[in-house]
Chains A and B, each alone.
Chain A
Amino acid sequence: MRIAAAALAAVAYLVVVPALLADKPYLLGVLTTASALSLISMGVWLTFMIGRINIGQGAFALVGGYTTAILTTKAGLSFWLALPLSGLAAAAAAALIGWSILRLRGVYFAMITLSLTETMRLLALNAKALTGGATGIVSIPTPGAASLFGLVVVPDFASVNQHLAFYYLSAALLLLGVAIVWRIANSRMGWLFRSLQQNEELAASIGVNVAKFRVIAFAVCSFLGGLGGAFFTASQQSIYPSSFGVPDSIYFMLYCFLGGLAYVFGPVVGTFILFISFELLHGLREYQMLIYSLVIIALMLWLPNGLLSLRPPARLAGRPEPAAAKRRRGAGQEA
């Protein structure tokens, strides 16, 4: 039943939607952006899992974006090599910075990651030799063809319907991100992450290497952020210090929260529903932001556990089972 539903959703997402919207670039663009934003939010969800409020994802999206921009324009590297390298660069930066700042918790971590987003913007603004300063890096080439053993896997983006090509790229990246986070959330490491969220001292006292696991979570989070940043750099063919700022970091966090922190699909649902509803409110002009913020506040007042909590618990896909329930069930089977 669940597999059938998932297969249906995948077919709709990968076949039906692009077929229907192939000649409607605006709508396709909205969905493309929502997919890529979901990918970035997936990462933030992972840091919520270790009990940290991460408002620094914009910084790592910026690192990923600039890595792609510099590698493709100055080093002449193919986008398909620059993309994974951007993720890795963001992850490496996160591991380096995270080692020290992950000692902070609660509001302190939230405030320092917020500052980190601002730091990265100022760094991009001032490191003119590398980033071009305020004028940014523009006219970045679209992704070219990628071939494996002489076989063309991905066609040159310039030779096909670009909107469709970017839609599929963002969809592929999102599926990769969901797969990574799903795998982690349902593995032993996922449970260790949750133990950090509940009580770090207790986790440490039973032998969990707390410092290692929180850095891993932060690095994976930033890896996804870096990939997302690289995607936006390629699809917009430009990057500026202000491409990802504090408001973006706050939105990534809100998307996760409003989708539901207890569900792997929370950030995806939150991003799609909120981002698309923001676009739908476009006609309201100056009232767009006002209505949107009222929607966000109303969701927090009446759905404090996220949009996905609307569904009956038994049918939730990928919902982490409470540890106590699992223990009880295990005991029942033995009896």
Chain B
Amino acid sequence: MEQVVINGLILGMNYALIALGLTLIFALMGVLNFAHGQLYVLGGFVTYYLYGVMGLPFVLALVATAVTLAAVGIVMERALFRRVLRISSREESSMLLAAGTALLLESSILIVFGEKQRGVPPVMTGVYEVFGAYVPAGRAFVFAASALLVAGFILFMQYTRPGRALRALAQDREAALLQGVNVKRYAMIGFAIGSALAGLSGALLVTVFAVNSGLGTPISIKAFIMIMIGGAGVVSGAIFGAFVLGFVEAFGYFFIPGSITYLLIFIGLIVFLSLRPQGIMGKPWG
């Protein structure tokens, strides 16, 4: 039983990293980034290449992955989303553009990295014993790194100047503009951070689970579940949703065989959302 709780905790922390990037981009731009899972996969592959194939130190590979993904995010925002958000007459178009971008990323990943499942050896070896449960050191490392990143993200958003600007932008775009926030620049920065977070979670988890080019959509769906539980566009909600999903998954896989766990999660989600449409911590209609 302790094992299941520990597993849930580790899974939840990893998921929090995935959900944070998605919810950040949603809060800033009102864009539900369908390509989030593909960014995660891209992060996993970049780390596989730098750490697994080229043999760079893991921390260096992690930084390089974050920078690469941030650059991809900036290109996405500048080249695609900025224009579509400006010219389109319907709010749906940004979401559909994200779906198109997801296709583009997935096919590019397939061409560049191939269709094989790729994984890297864990960064640390050995097993710790915590409260009678066994935790492989590799997973403990991923947990600690995720926790550091989540804490760093929250501190950044709370106490730094760019963080405050991003929060202002998320609360009220016009008011932020009137206060002298360079809205275009911070929208770009937000997109870069969101993409980098997706890439970092991919980079950390590739040491535990392998990645393949088709993993993007399932990861996006998991991220959507998390922000639906917690409420879209709310940082605390994303973290809460991530832990709920992590624990439910850990318990589900322990007690119920196979894919029935996710069937129950989905059914539970539909019932939950019909009772509380905006999630636990969300504002009505995001």
Contact = CB atoms under 8 A, between A and B. Distances in A.
Interface string A291-307: 01110110011001100
A111 interface: yes
A303 B267 CA distance: 38
Please classify the interface of chain A as helix (H, G, I), strand (E, B), loop, or mixed, using the class held by over half of its residues: helix
B99 A112 contact: no
B232 A107 contact: yes
B221 A304 contact: no
A273 interface: no
Contact of A300 (B34, B97, B259, B269): B97
Interface residues of B, number: 49
Contacts of B267: 119
A111 B274 contact: no
A254 B100 contact: yes
A297 B95 CA distance: 12
Nearest to B224: A111
Given A100-B271, A106-B91, 16 more contacts: A97-B270, A103-B277, A106-B286, A115-B221, A115-B228, A116-B266, A126-B258, A254-B96, A254-B99, A261-B90, A293-B103, A300-B84, A300-B93, A300-B97, A301-B84, A304-B87
A264 B29 CA distance: 30
A108 interface: yes
A290 B89 CA distance: 27
A107 B286 contact: yes
B104 interface: yes
Interface string B240-279: 0000000000000000001110110011011101100110
A93 interface: no
Taking residues whose C-beta sits less than 8 angstroms from the other chain, chain A's interface range is 35 or more
A114 B84 contact: no
B266 A122 contact: yes
Contacts of B286: 106-108
Interface string B63-97: 00000000000000000100110011111110111
B111 A106 contact: no
Given A106-B286, A246-B217, A290-B108, A304 B266 contact: no
Contacts of A294: 104
A114 B224 contact: yes
Contacts of B236: none
